Structure 1
Amino acid sequence: MLKVQNLTSGYDRSQILFDISFEVGAGEVVCLMGRNGMGKTTTVRALMGLLPAWDGAVEFEGRQLNGMSAARVAKRGLGLVPEGRQIFPNLTVHENLRVAAANRRGQPDPWTVERIYELFPGLHERIGSHGNLLSGGEQQMLAIGRALMTNPSLLILDEATEGLAPVIRDQIWDCIARLRGLGQSIVVIDKHVKRLLDVADRFYVVEKGRTVWSGDPDRVRAEDDRIKGYLTV
């Protein structure tokens, strides 16, 4: 579905990505791991057309995304839950969801606000609340729901559970597991490796703008000390 090969990118004259390569198959959950500042969010921005790819290739469902605007990338079927959530603070929960509604790819069972409320019942209880009045966990659920309302082929969650209470993190992981069961392809960026082992099909470690390690959950368990070395300061 998604194939990233030797991707390089950065900001102005500052190169951040030097050699990023990874793949996501249909229906897979793939995790990008690494310490802060290693290039994970920059990778996401380059995938989404928010930063230009200087070199390398980004192929999605057999078509190159290189050079596409962020709007065109979204129309191709990539949905983003950005770091920091970035929900609309002056819109209600319902309005935040409705503003993103689209089914450009004609999915037979598209995401609707009713389905989002089934996935996150707590949001339905806050249906008329403005985004800036929600807790961090509620905002993250709303950000996921908003991305799903675009009916993406691939959902990208940047820092999926950053700064959330443990009980809320569990709800987010349960949501990801449920989406996986529905066949949703997902790229997730997070640091909670043990919990990710129950969710992800494959892992990639990003260090200093390069993909330096990859493996399945069994390999993560077998190389626990090595993985900890990549993720700790």
Structure 2
Amino acid sequence: MLKVQNLTGGYDRSQILFDMNFEVGAGEVICLMGRNGMGKTTTVKTMMGLLPAWKGAVEFEGRKLNGLSAARVARGGFGLVPEGRQVFPNLTVDENLRVAAANRRGEENPWTTGKIYDLFPGLHERAGSWANLLSGGEQQMLAIGRALMTNPKLLILDEATEGLAPVIRDQIWACIGRLRGLGQSIIVIDKHIRRLLDVADRFYVVEKGRTVWEGTPERVRAEEDKVKAFLSV
């Protein structure tokens, strides 16, 4: 579905990405891991057309995305849950969801607000509340729900559990597991290895703008000390 090959890029004259390589198959959940500042979010921005790719290629369903605008990339089937949530503060929960509604996969049974509320019952109780009045965990659930309302072919979760209470993290991971069961392709950027072992199909470690290690959950378990060494400060 998605192939990122020898991707380089950055901001103005500052190179951040030197050799990023990974792929996501249809229905797969993959995890990008790495310390802060290693290039994970820059990779997402470059994939999404928010930053130009200097070299290398991003291919989605056989189509090269290099040079396309962020709007065209998004319309092609990407759903992004950005770092920091970035919900629309002056819209209600329900309005945040409805404004994003688009059946990009052409499904007969697309995501609706009702399905989002089934996934996150707590949001249903806050449907009429302004988004800026929600807790951090509720805003994260809303950001995920808003991305799903586009019916994306590929869902990208950038630091989806960062700064959240453990009970909220559990809900987010349970959500990822449920989406995987529905066949949703997902990229997760996260550091909580053990919790992701049950929901991710493959793991990639990013260091200084390069993918330096990859493996299945079984390989992560076998080489856990090595993987943790990449992630430690």
TM-score grouping bracket, smaller chain normalisation: over 0.9
User: What does the per-residue CA deviation read over 1:167-216, in whole Å, with 9 as the maximum and x for residues that have no partner?
Assistant: 00000000000000000000000000000101100000000000000000
What CA distance in whole angstroms lies between the structure 1 residues aligned with 2:109 and 2:64? Answer: 27
Alignment correspondent of 2:189 = 189
Question: How is 1:13-52 mapped onto 2 (pairs within 5 angstroms)?
Answer: 13-52=13-52
Letter in 1 for 2:80: L
What CA distance in whole angstroms lies between the structure 2 residues aligned with 1:130 and 1:64? Answer: 39
CA RMSD of superposed structures (Å): 0.5
Cα distance, 1:104 vs. partner? 3.1
What CA distance in whole angstroms lies between the structure 2 residues aligned with 1:84 and 1:100? Answer: 18
What CA distance in whole angstroms lies between the structure 1 residues aligned with 2:104 and 2:181? Answer: 23
TM-score (norm 2): 0.99
- Secondary structure of the 2:53 match is coil
Alignment correspondent of 1:144 = 144
What CA distance in whole angstroms lies between the structure 2 residues aligned with 1:120 and 1:19? Answer: 37
What CA distance in whole angstroms lies between the structure 1 residues aligned with 2:149 and 2:132? Answer: 20
TM-score (norm 1): 0.99
Alignment correspondent of 2:131 = 131
Letter in 2 for 1:21: N
User: What does the per-residue CA deviation read over 1:123-146, in whole Å, with 9 as the maximum and x for residues that have no partner?
Assistant: 000001111100000000000000
1:2 aligns with 2:12: no
Cα distance, 1:109 vs. partner? 1.3
Letter in 2 for 1:138: E
Alignment correspondent of 2:121 = 121
Question: How is 1:151-162 mapped onto 2 (pairs within 5 angstroms)?
Answer: 151-162=151-162
Question: Does structure 1 retain, via aligned residues, the 8 Å contact 2:7–2:17?
Answer: yes
- Secondary structure of the 1:128 match is coil
Question: How is 1:189-208 mapped onto 2 (pairs within 5 angstroms)?
Answer: 189-208=189-208
With 122-131 and 98-107 compared, the bigger mean Cα shift is at 98-107
User: What does the per-residue CA deviation read over 1:62-91, in whole Å, with 9 as the maximum and x for residues that have no partner?
Assistant: 101111101000110010000000000000
Unaligned runs of 5+ in 1: none
What CA distance in whole angstroms lies between the structure 2 residues aligned with 1:2 and 1:126? Answer: 35
What CA distance in whole angstroms lies between the structure 2 residues aligned with 1:62 and 1:125? Answer: 42
- Between the aligned residues of both structures, percent identity stands at 83
Alignment correspondent of 1:64 = 64
- Secondary structure of the 1:54 match is strand
User: What does the per-residue CA deviation read over 1:25-70, in whole Å, with 9 as the maximum and x for residues that have no partner?
Assistant: 0000000000000000000000111000110000001101111101
1:85 aligns with 2:104: no
What CA distance in whole angstroms lies between the structure 2 residues aligned with 1:32 and 1:108? Answer: 31
Letter in 2 for 1:208: K
Unaligned runs of 5+ in 2: none
Count residues with an aligned counterpart: 233
Cα distance, 1:106 vs. partner? 1.2
Question: Does structure 1 retain, via aligned residues, the 8 Å contact 2:78–2:152?
Answer: yes
Letter in 1 for 2:119: L
Letter in 2 for 1:3: K
User: What does the per-residue CA deviation read over 1:88-115, in whole Å, with 9 as the maximum and x for residues that have no partner?
Assistant: 0000000000110001331121001111
